Amino acid sequence: MHELSIAIQIAEIITEEAAKAEALTVTKVILEIGSLSGIEADAIELAVPEAFRNTICENAAVEYHYIKARAVCESCCNEFDPIDHYKICPFCNSLYTSFLKGKELNIKSFDIVKP
Amino acid sequence: MCGTCGCGDDDHITYHKPNEENQEHSHLHHHGPVAHTHFHRHDDYQLSLHQHQGHSHDHSHDHEHTHDHPHDHTHDHTHLTTTQTVQIQRNILSKNELEAARNRGYFDALKVVALNLVSSPGSGKTSILERTITEKGRELNCFVIEGDQQTMNDAQRIEKAGAPVIQINTGNGCHLDAIMIGKALRQLNMSTNSTLFIENVGNLVCPALFDLGESKRVVIISVTEGEDKPAKYPNMFETSHLCLINKVDLLPYLDFDMEKFLNIAKTVNPMLQFIPISAKTGEGFDQWYAWISQQGVE
């Protein structure tokens, strides 16, 4: 259920930033969500329209960019696609690997209409 | 922000010291004109989305008289609007992270070791704290923030054990966030060189996402749970520094495979440290105290 809190944060951030930009309305929002961010696609897609209701984002089209996880091995320097949080290096079996992508939880951009 | 119904205020979140519980609520209820959303959906919701199908509304009409303009003027203003893309590339949790950084600064200034204790419900977080406070409360100078959806039960147990405590009741919220911790800290009046235990809401999912400004995150698992917990809830194990394996006094009666558990946990987080303990018998607690003392040195 934390997706609703996250969705409300998104609405709050965009409302603040849209006011700074003197926007009349927000027409489009692009979100970046990594597969390891702890956010479920179904849950966030349900929560965002609810959180946007009665805000400047109410009529915005929302694009969800889901980002696949990518990891790099610190031992052999090879890059690979980890399976969830299991990031054992498939090349040398090292556990000392780190994520390059997949933790994203960002508002990438939003489109506004200005007077 | 309220994570329960989505309203803009913390209406459902309360902060209490145990001896304040029968008093009037000290928190403020704002029911002002704050924009808030609710999940309820009216039956006529669909009706409000009706469309005009098959006919159009024509609103043009003719003017049959003319006006003379005795002077010339031009209407040179245009009603064109411009569209613009705002590239903000902002982390959605940035507000929480800002508050977490604030808390971290407060802890640094007071030389506080702040530990965020996370686990599923019933793993023994409160029992571990009770024993810790009873045995080392004075030496470690313990303070506690308790997080639960409801009740003062844990705060009462902690107060009985002898540590100053604030109970945060999150209502229906499933985790503590840095803003709640900041508010609780203002009531807690911590002293320098102390240890703060933050007992998070029993939940292995959401608390993983929210940095509270803690020095270290401690995940607790009990041997009555499955050894595949780290595989099921990898986010929590990946973000923790220490894993306390509680209720080891029950091992002879259970099928818990310690070797298998350690292997799975290390796969998720190879840096994770482990201390097997029993809050009932006190086994492993010397190691736990040594680990806490070590955090203050760093």
Domain annotation covers residue A95: no
Which residue in chain A has the smallest CA separation from B270? A95
CB contact, 8 Å: B208 with chain A?
yes
Residue B22 confidence (pLDDT) = 52
Q: CA of B182 to nearest chain A CA: how many angstroms apart?
A: 18
What range defines the domain where residue A39 resides?
A: 2-67+102-113
Which CATH number is correct for B94-219+283-297, 3.40.50.300, 3.30.360.10, 1.10.10.920, 1.10.1040.10? 3.40.50.300
Look up the ipTM and state it: 0.86
> What are the structural domain ranges in chain B?
94-219+283-297
User: Pick from A37, A38, A88: which is nearest to B267 by CB?
Assistant: A88
Query: Which pair of structure tokens corresponds to residue B210?
Result: 């929210």
Cα–Cα distance measured from residue A100 to residue B196, given in angstroms and rounded to the nearest whole number:
33
User: Please, which pLDDT band fits residue B296 given cuts at 50, 70 and 90?
Assistant: confident
Sequence length of chain A is: 115
pLDDT above 70 (res B92): yes
Residue B11 confidence (pLDDT) = 58
What mean pLDDT comes out for the span A33-54?
Answer: 94
Domain annotation covers residue A40: yes
B3–A8 C-beta distance less than 8 A? yes
Residue A20 confidence (pLDDT) = 94
Residue B38 confidence (pLDDT) = 41
B88–A13 C-beta distance less than 8 A? yes
Domain annotation covers residue A16: yes
Look at B19 and B277; give whichever has higher pLDDT. B277
* Chain segment B151-195, per-residue pLDDT in tens: 999 999 999 999 999 999 988 788 999 999 999 999 999 999 999
User: Pick from B81, B90, B93: which is nearest to A115 by CB?
Assistant: B81
A48: CATH: 3.30.2320.50
Q: Which residues, listed in sequence order, are joined to residue A68 by a DSSP beta bridge?
A: none
Question: Structurally, how many domains does chain A consist of?
Answer: 1
Query: Which pair of structure tokens corresponds to residue B148?
Result: 């639960």
Residue B30 confidence (pLDDT) = 44
User: For testing the chain B interface, which of A6, A9, A109 should be mutated: the one with the most B CBs within 10 Å?
Assistant: A9
Question: How far is CA B95 from each of CA A104, B1, B185, B231, B294, rounded to the nearest angstrom?
Answer: 15, 11, 18, 29, 31
Contact between residue B205 and residue B233 where contact means Cβ atoms under 8 Å apart: yes
pLDDT above 70 (res A15): yes
User: Pick from A38, A50, A86: which is nearest to B235 by CB?
Assistant: A38
Cα–Cα distance measured from residue B256 to residue B194, given in angstroms and rounded to the nearest whole number:
36
Domain annotation covers residue A78: no
Containing B37, the helix (H) or strand (E) segment is none
Query: Residues in chain A whose beta carbon is closer than 8 A to a beta carbon of chain B?
Result: 1-2, 4-10, 12-13, 17-18, 21, 24, 27, 31, 36-38, 50-51, 53-55, 84-86, 88, 95-96, 105-115
User: For testing the chain A interface, which of B13, B36, B37 should be mutated: the one with the most A CBs within 10 Å?
Assistant: B37
CB contact, 8 Å: B281 with chain A?
no
